[in-house]
Amino acid sequence: MSIVIAAGQRRDSPQFEPVLKKIRMARLGSGRPRTRSDRDRAGKAYASRKNRTCLRRRGMRCAIPDKADQARNRKKRGSRGGRPPEFDKGDYRERHAV
């Protein structure tokens, strides 16, 4: 088990990527541990473009709700605003499970 410690004023979101890099899940049989989960469930605080890009790069799906101001700005841009990120409410409700 590894621990990521940061100063209190650093907030949580900047620590998202270093924490993901340290994840190791033991396999039931023999073999090296898995380094990425199938899906990530996080709160609105982790809805930044950087965090979503990090998850996409690692091939992980996510259930992170969109912030209201980000959605409003995307809609304001019309067709140039892009597609809203996929969000599954049922999966998000299970975010407390490990």
Cβ 36 vs Cβ 60: under 8 Å: yes
Q: How confident is the model at residue 9 (pLDDT cuts 50, 70, 90)?
A: low
User: What is the tens place of the pLDDT at every residue in 39-90?
Assistant: 888 888 888 889 989 999 999 888 889 889 988 988 999 888 888 888 888 8
Residue 70 inside a domain? The answer is yes
Residue 1 inside a domain? The answer is no
Element (H, E) at 61: strand 61-63
Residue 2 inside a domain? The answer is no
Give the pair of three-digit tokens for residue 75. 């809609």
Residue 3 inside a domain? The answer is no
Residue 39 inside a domain? The answer is yes
Considering its fold, how many domains does the chain have in total? Answer: 1
Question: Global pTM?
Answer: 0.72
Contacts of 84 (CB under 8 A, 6+ apart): 66, 71, 74
Cβ 41 vs Cβ 92: under 8 Å: yes
Residue 28 inside a domain? The answer is yes
Q: What is the mean pLDDT of the chain?
A: 84
Structural domain that includes position 57: 8-92
